[in-house]
Amino acid sequence: MFSSYFKLAIKVLGRHRFFTFISLFGISFTLMILMVTTSFLETELGSHPPLTEKDRMVLLPRLIMKSLVTDTTWTVDTTMLDGQPAYDSTFTVGKQRQNSYSSSSLSYSFLDRYMRDIPGAEAHSFFCSDTQFDIFINGKKLNFKTLYSDATYWEIFNFNFLAGRSFQPSEVERQVQVAVLSRKAAVDYFGTTEQVVGRSIEMDGRQLEVIGIVEQPSNSKDYVTSEVYLPLTLMSGSALTETGFHGPFAAVFLAESPQARSTIVESIRQKADRIPLPNPEDYNKLELMPATVIGLYAYYMMPVQDDPEGALQMFTLVAIGLMLLFILLPTLNLINLNISRAMERSAEIGVRKAFGAHSGSILAQLVFENVVLTFLGGILGWLFALALIYLVNDSQVLGDTQLQFNTAVFLYSLLICLVFGILSGLLPAYRMSKLHIVNAIKFNNL
Amino acid sequence: MIRHIFQLVWNKKRSNALLFLEIFFAFAILFLVLTWVTRNLRLFSTPLGFETENTWIVHLDFYDAEDTLAASATKVRLREELLALPQIEAASYGGDVSPFSGSIWSTNNDNNGFMIQTHLVFADEHYKDAARLKLVQGRWFDETDRDARYKPVVISKKLYDESFEGRNLQDSVYTIDGENKIVGVVDHYKYHGDFSPEYNVTFFYEPSSAIDMPNLHLLLAPGTPVAFEEEVNRIVTDVTGKSDFTIEHLQKSRDQAARSVWVPMISMLSICGFLVLNVALGLFGVLWYNISKRRAEVGLRRTLGASRTEVSLQFVGEIMIVSLLALLLGAVFAVQLPLMGVLEGEIEAFDYYVAMGVGAAFIIGLVLLCTFYPSQEAGRLQPAIVLHEE
């Protein structure tokens, strides 16, 4: 039965080329945009190396100090009491008001002192992704972003090593002059990734031995993307001994399971209340901002202050809203077109009904035809999407982010096609299937 | 005539409802995107206020210096050595808040009896020349400010207009951050990028030698080769003994900041363009189909003496009425945003109204364009032929 429906669908498509073109144009373009968007979200938020354990991670990128003051209003009443003036003063405590505010990444000494034993955390790592170096080689300037970390960093983030290894705890402790390079950095500096391990790179006025090369993360998260990875003990100056709370560091904690993340988030928040502030006259309230990987992503996209969870809710809402609005218009358009086109076939439907076809099977046939059309459009859209992804990656419009088209995205796309096809086919098909036989046959004037 | 058309539209209310919805949503999407675009273009139209071409910033860091006096001397020596090069026209030290870095330091108070809300930027006496700032009143900082009794500040024209218009600047001391004397007014300083709103800015004076003025702005002679950067890098390394500094090309940062708005804006506009094209094609198809169904009706009208234009006008009129009604509903919703002041401060009422006007005009134009050809065709039908078919 479906094969005859299929043949019919193809025949109908060939009949009015112009209508078919309009429909296919709308479908393929809509699906292309949806596929590229899915691919973008999947690249940014999927579990790709080095973030394979992203659902177990809690990041601590920010520390906030506030000074909260309460407005107090004094009222003094003067009355005459026994010929003497008497004063009666009352005061009202107003709302708490934020006087000053300071938000930044954290210092190593703060993390070292307070964030070592967080309940629920299997592992933790402190790192600083704030430094850049200009290196001149053969008259060319290379700007290398440098990430300083401890050795557990490599256990939490699963980098894809092209060659060599990461640095060990003992190497961090002994300040061994070693470096892990990204593939791009190795190519920029040495011209190749072959046999680079063991050679040395000159940076920050010293010779560092290259011990490993890692594949570039496909997305642009500042806590994993870097050109050079160094042991944090190689940081210059007083970066590790500075006693203030603000500094260039961030922390990451690994929970036992995705559910256990909330324990970590809670304990970090609670801990903030118990830490005495170094300068209570300036700031009297300390807040820590723990965030999940996705929460932090939304936090950077949305104008929400210090609240990654709120930002994530807003992000989801905005994304779904935009998606719906975006799908709505082509769907309406397609419904409109489909109704017109289906009218044209009222005679055929009338005859089928006259020979005993149920409304249901008419409905199924028309929806099926629409799904076939959508899948045709889907294939076109898929080709367009591949081309667009290639262009986006090639032009580096998104910076370091390299969009991927993998099985997950493909399956999402199939689903999108199906939903779109059924959605835009249902109403016209329903209307046609309800047509009276007499009317249907009578209107056969085309 | 209009009443007849209304009657016709009402008779086919079911199929017109879809058309109505489609135009309504097309307007809604267009309105939202155009509001955002208008806002960006409005912000883009004010000048940046400082030089970015041929400007480099050396990002140094002296906070961990143990001997601050020696570090100060090094800073001054570095500036002098670089300034001695013929390629460098001006050099100035600035505070941590440097252009396009995204950092903000802001303060607000009403200690003067009126509200002051401003961003703080720290600059030395050479910054005016290095950034080619334009003063509209007073003067920039100079050597004498070092020992001034009240900390001298230069404010931006926007802050002047907002808080100091008509007030005496010459002899008054105002509380901005401590007690300050306003010595000058600069016309613009949009240091967050071309597409950023212009914030109120106050420049605070710090001498070049201060430790917390780590960013060295260099203005280069036009046509300086890129290779010169290596020489600057070498001199900075030699003088300061540091290697953990970077040299930023200000024009590049400006372009990057602007690109982060251009790219989403252009992709949104092209998505929008596609949606509208989609709607247009759909409209065209549906109209064509409808007219071919109503050939007999056209034939009858023509025999009864209607002219070609009248027949064409009827079809254009039908679609126009549906579209105008949809736009009217859209406008009723859209006008709520400026009336309720949604996102006030970020988006002005002006942006909403421009977007509404442009969006509506665009849709009307599009509808006219799509109905033009099919209704012309309808007008051209020969009564004898179409009535014969019937």
Q: What is the pLDDT of residues B213-236, one digit of tens each?
A: 999 999 999 988 888 888 899 999
User: Is residue B302 pLDDT above 50, yes or no?
Assistant: yes
B290 touches chain A (CB under 8 A): yes
Phi, psi of A159 (to 5 degrees): -70, 150
Which tokens go with A50?
């080095």
Q: How far apart are the first and last CA of chain A?
A: 27
| Residue B103 pLDDT > 80 | no
Alpha carbon B136 to chain centroid, angstroms = 24
- Contact in structure between A369 and A12 (CB atoms under 8 Å): yes
Residue A329: which of B237, B279, B293 has the nearest Cβ?
B279
* pLDDT, position A85: 81
Rounded Cα gap, residues A303 and A311, in angstroms: 8
Tokens of B78: 């570095």
CB contact under 8 A, B233 and A136: yes
Q: Which of B246, B271, B290 lies at the smallest CB-CB distance from A143?
A: B246
A340 and B247: CB-CB below 8 Å? no
Rounded mean pLDDT of B141-157? 90
Structure tokens at A70: 């309460």
For residue B286, give the nearest of A337, A344, A446 by CB distance.
A337
What is the C-alpha to C-alpha distance for residues B371 and B319, in angstroms, rounded to an integer?
A: 8
Nearest CA-CA distance, residue B154 and chain A, Å:
23
Q: In this complex, do A329 and B286 lie within 8 Å of one another by their Cβ atoms?
A: no
Cis peptide before A50 (omega within 30 of 0): yes
Question: Chain A within 8 Å of B387 (Cβ-Cβ)?
Answer: no
- Give chain B as a 3 state SS string: CHHHHHHHHHHCHHHHHHHHHHHHHHHHHHHHHHHHHHHHHHHHCCCCCCCCCCEEEEECCCCCCCCHHHHHHHHHHHHHHHHCCCCEEEEEEECCCCCCCCCCCEEEECCCCCCEEEEEEEECCCHHHHHCCCEEEECCCCHHHHHCCCEEEEEEHHHHHHHHCCCCCCCCCEECCCEEEEEEEECCCCCCCCCCCCCCEEEEECCCCCCCCCEEEEEECCCCCCCHHHHHHHHHHHHHCCCCCEEEEHHHHHHHHHHHHHHHHHHHHHHHHHHHHHHHHHHHHHHHHHHHHCHHHHHHHHHCCCCHHHHHHHHHHHHHHHHHHHHHHHHHHHCHHHHHCCCCCCCCHHHHHHHHHHHHHHHHHHHHHHHHHHHHHHHHCCHHHHHHHC
Which of A29, A148, A333 best tests the B interface by mutation, with the highest count of B CBs <10 A?
A333
Question: Can you read off the two tokens belonging to residue A39?
Answer: 């691919």
Provide Rg for chain B, Cα atoms. 32
Where is A341: in which H helix or E strand? helix A308-344
- Asked whether the beta carbons of A73 and A97 are under 8 A apart, the reply is no
Contact between residue B248 and residue B94 where contact means Cβ atoms under 8 Å apart? no
Tell me whether B109 touches chain A (CB under 8 Å).
no
pLDDT at residue number A446: 39
Measured between alpha carbons, how far is B256 from B247 in angstroms, rounded to an integer? 16
User: Six-digit token pair at A297?
Assistant: 């992503």
Residues 6+ apart with CB under 8 A from A335: A424, A427, A428, B18
- The complex's ipTM works out to 0.74
Cα B353 to Cα A304, B42, B183, B261: the distances in Å are: 27, 13, 39, 22
How far lies A327's CA from each of A31, A36, A231, A413, B383, in Å? 9, 14, 49, 14, 42
Nearest CA in chain A to B26: A329
Q: Specify the higher pLDDT residue, B8 or B254.
A: B254
Determine whether B227 is exposed, middle or buried from the number of CB atoms within 10 Å of its CB (0-12, 13-18, 19+): exposed
Who's near B77: CB < 8 A, 6+ residues apart? B239
A86 is written with which tokens? 């008497």
Calpha distance A126→A237 (Å, rounded): 18
Rounded Cα–Cα distance for residues A30 and A36 (Å)? 10
For residue B158, the tally of other CB atoms under 10 A from its CB is 21
Q: What is the pLDDT of residue A123?
A: 94
Residue B308 neighbours by CB under 8 Å, 6+ apart: B302, B379, B380
Q: Are strands A285-291 and B179-186 parallel, antiparallel or unpaired?
A: unpaired
SS3 content of chain A, % helix, strand, coil (to 5): 50, 25, 25
Regions of chain A where pLDDT drops below 70: 237, 443-446
> CA B376, CA B314: separation in Å to the nearest integer?
11
Mean pLDDT, residues B240-262: 87
Helix, strand or coil, per DSSP, at residue A6: helix
A140 touches chain B (CB under 8 A): no
Measured CA to CA, the distance from residue A71 to residue A148 in angstroms comes to 44
User: Comparing C-alpha atoms, which of A422, A425, A421, A417 is closest to residue A38?
Assistant: A417
Rg from Cα positions in chain A: 32
Residue type, position A327, single letter: I
Whether residue B180 contacts residue B173, with contact meaning beta carbons closer than 8 Å, is answered with yes
Task: Tell me, yes or no, if A98 comes closer than 8 A to chain B by beta carbon.
Answer: no
The amino acid present at A331, given as its one-letter code, is: T
Length of chain B: 390
Q: What are the residues whose beta carbons fall under 8 Å from the beta carbon of B320, sequence distance 6 or more?
A: B364, B367, B368, B371
| Residue B390, pLDDT score | 58
Nearest to A183 by CA among A126, A229, A127: A229
SS3 A37: helix
How high is the pLDDT of residue A445? 47
CA distance B246 to chain A (A): 5
Sign of the alpha-carbon dihedral angle for B29, B34, B37, B43? negative
> What pLDDT score does A138 carry?
80
Nearest Cα residue to B157 out of B136, B177, B139: B136
Pairwise CB contact (< 8 Å): A204 & B243: yes
Distances (CA, A) of B260 to B54, B251, B253, B381: 22, 14, 11, 54
pTM of the entire structure? 0.80
Angle between helices B250-293 and B295-303 (to 10 degrees): 70
Pairwise CB contact (< 8 Å): A340 & B285 = yes
State the Cα–Cα distance between residues A381 and A273, nearest whole angstrom.
53
List Cα–Cα distances, A218 to A152, A163, A391, in angstroms: 22, 18, 16
User: Please, are residues B386 and B296 in contact by the beta-carbon 8 Å criterion?
Assistant: yes
Asked whether A234 and A148 are in contact (CB, 8 A), the reply is yes
With contact defined as beta carbons under 8 Å apart, do A104 and A63 qualify? yes
CA A152 – CA B158 distance, rounded (Å): 50
d(CA A40, CA A402): 9
Q: Which residues on chain B are in Cβ contact (under 8 Å) with A133?
A: 243-244, 246
Phi-psi sector, A101: left (phi>0), alpha (psi -120 to 50), beta = beta
Residue among A29, A236, A343 whose CB faces B244 most closely: A236
